[in-house]
Amino acid sequence: MIQTFNLEPYEEEFGRGLAELAGRKIIPRIWEKDWTVWKPEPGEIANRLGWLTSPRAMKAKARCLHAFAASARRAGFTRALVLGMGGSSLAPLVMASVFQTRRGFLDLDVLDSTAPEAVLRARRNHPVRKSLFIVSSKSGTTAETSSFFGFFWNAVEAAVGQAAAPGHFAVITDPGTPLEALAGRLGIKNVFHGDPEIGGRFSALSPFCLVPATLKGIPVSGMLEAGLGMSRRCREARDLRANPGALLGTILGVLALRGRDKLTIILPDRLQTFGLWLEQLIAESTGKEGRGILPVEGESFRGPGLDLGDRLFVHVGTKAEARNDGRLTGLVDAGQPVVNIALPPSYQLGGQFFLWEFATAVAGRFLGINPFDQPDVESAKIRSRETLAVFRATGALPPEKPRFKVKGISIFSDLEARSAADCLGKFLAGAAPGGYIAIQAFLAPGKRIQASLDMVRSRLADKTGLPTTAGFGPRFLHSTGQLHKGDAGRGLFLQITAQDRFDAAIPDEPGSKTSTFSFGILKAAQARGDYEALKAAGRRVLRIEIGSDSPAGLRQVASLLG
């Protein structure tokens, strides 16, 4: 299942790593849920290991999930929309894009953007009389999810009336959360409980993914059987080279310690969203205490000046896709370290979810960090709330003045520069070997915008030779945002914002006719909050406001980059 290429320079350290796992009985201790594998204290570890047994626990609940899907079909629903963020949205996004909807089941989509255009697009694409809305939040307090809930509740209530509205919603949350209490007050009957001992990014084999998957007609029993099979293989403790999770986790951890800490993920087109799930799992789990593995997904890495010396490449796909992917062959021929993970033709992603969760936990052991906490995520949230408090008190966001304006683009930076081009040049001059560039786009996701972002990304790679990542805000705040502030600080951060052509009010609570904020205000506060959090963490960040025509504005940014 796992093939390795060109790992010979690291074979000695790799062997020592496996020997350490064996000598310290790390694999059995992980399965015994021994928190001292990672840290001497149990905080945010002992209560975060439920994912180890989730495949078996969920198999017992599969019949209940299928019954819910059957009831949704009988009710006449044809579409389902997950309202969530981070660990509550990315695994369902994989389900929505990788699998075809079975005949008679519900088309599945995910909303995880506060950009007004994205919210209004989701509203247009989901006629409320035929749509089921899945409100998904482990904590039950996620700001974005609460905002989505209020917006769509009011839309449904206006269309079908107060009495019928609860039947158009289901809730997934941990027991005892404010969201569960609100669902009870509103009369929502379909409430699914997550396991409080499973963190969001480790929740792929839990109700947060499996409830939406069942609605789409995906055979979750098969997914869970694949996950259970992989979990059995990850129990192997005598021959660790036969333990896929131990093997992959040791490769990730050992090569990261040797400077190969840019995990570049190569996927066939049909599995591209799996890279987004991997990105969150790895970045949020390992990017802390000045260390981290940077997942690089969706990058071409074909620029002639690209420095590949800090990369580890992992390909996931069928044997046929591996044979036909020229990128993989070229990297192997060039002597780059490569791992190929062969999937069965049926794409048993349940096994992949568990494999990568286990491998990430093992890699965290080598890095000496707790892979289950997220200590730096809150910093951006705090600053966003402070910005919203100013808006609440004054009716306006705090004033700001751009450093430069050119051709409809505004640049915000603390750098001393003579012009916009000089400012960009000085920003990129901070690029150094071992670093990376992260594009943080607070824009509405879409194919045209993605294509324009890819153009900017390619120009940055060509100019600097560095690995590049690109994430949509606020999605990335719940994903790579932890690593951005918690790693060694070698990143350059290009934040891109836009003026919203449309906006939508956020009800103060579901059913309320009053609104303190709009989605446009929330998005702007989130962007400003992360900008300030990055600066406070000593990161190098530059913001570009591109106007209201995002594709055109991104093309203008690309032209400024030369």
Domain boundary among 303, 336, 367: 367
Question: What distances in angstroms separate CA 212 from CA 65, 198, 247, 436, one per listed residue?
Answer: 9, 18, 31, 35
Same domain, 295 and 322: yes
Q: Radius of gyration over alpha carbons of the chain, in Å?
A: 23
Same domain, 275 and 382: no
Domain boundary among 157, 188, 218: 218
Tens-digit pLDDT profile for residues 227-254: 999 999 999 999 999 999 999 999 999 9
Task: Please indicate whether residue 34 or residue 408 has the higher confidence score (pLDDT).
Answer: 34
- The arithmetic mean of pLDDT across residues 413-424, rounded, is 92
Nearest to 312 by CA among 261, 371, 258, 247: 261
pLDDT band at 303 (very low <50, low <70, confident <90, very high): low
pLDDT confidence of residue 347: 65
pLDDT confidence of residue 225: 95
Q: Mean pLDDT of all residues in the chain?
A: 95
Structural domain containing residue 472:
377-560
Tens-digit pLDDT profile for residues 447-482: 999 999 999 999 999 999 999 999 999 999 999 999
Same domain, 348 and 400: no
Judge whether 229 lies within some domain: no
Q: Is the pLDDT of residue 305 over 70?
A: no
DSSP 291: B
pLDDT band at 307 (very low <50, low <70, confident <90, very high): confident
Same domain, 439 and 541: yes
pLDDT band at 83 (very low <50, low <70, confident <90, very high): very high
Tens-digit pLDDT profile for residues 184-193: 999 999 999 9
Judge whether 358 lies within some domain: yes
Tens-digit pLDDT profile for residues 198-234: 999 999 999 999 999 999 999 999 999 999 999 999 9
pLDDT confidence of residue 304: 57
Same domain, 124 and 270: no
Q: Is the pLDDT of residue 306 over 80?
A: no
Same domain, 420 and 548: yes
Same domain, 440 and 511: yes
CATH (domain of 341): 3.40.50.10490
Tens-digit pLDDT profile for residues 509-550: 999 999 999 999 999 999 999 999 999 999 999 999 999 999
- The arithmetic mean of pLDDT across residues 68-95, rounded, is 97
Q: Extract the tokens encoding 55.
A: 């495949």
Same domain, 182 and 145: yes
Tens-digit pLDDT profile for residues 322-375: 999 988 989 999 999 999 999 987 668 999 999 999 999 999 999 999 999 999
- The arithmetic mean of pLDDT across residues 135-161, rounded, is 97
Judge whether 443 lies within some domain: yes
Domain count, the chain: 3
Question: What distances in angstroms separate CA 182 from CA 40, 126, 193, 511, one per listed residue?
Answer: 38, 23, 14, 11
Same domain, 395 and 539: yes
Tell me how far apart the alpha carbons of residues 311 and 316 are, in angstroms, rounded to a whole number: 16
Same domain, 252 and 131: no
Same domain, 392 and 250: no
Q: How far apart, in Å, do the first and last CA atoms of the chain sit?
A: 43
Residue the block writes with tokens 């158009």 = 168
Same domain, 355 and 397: no
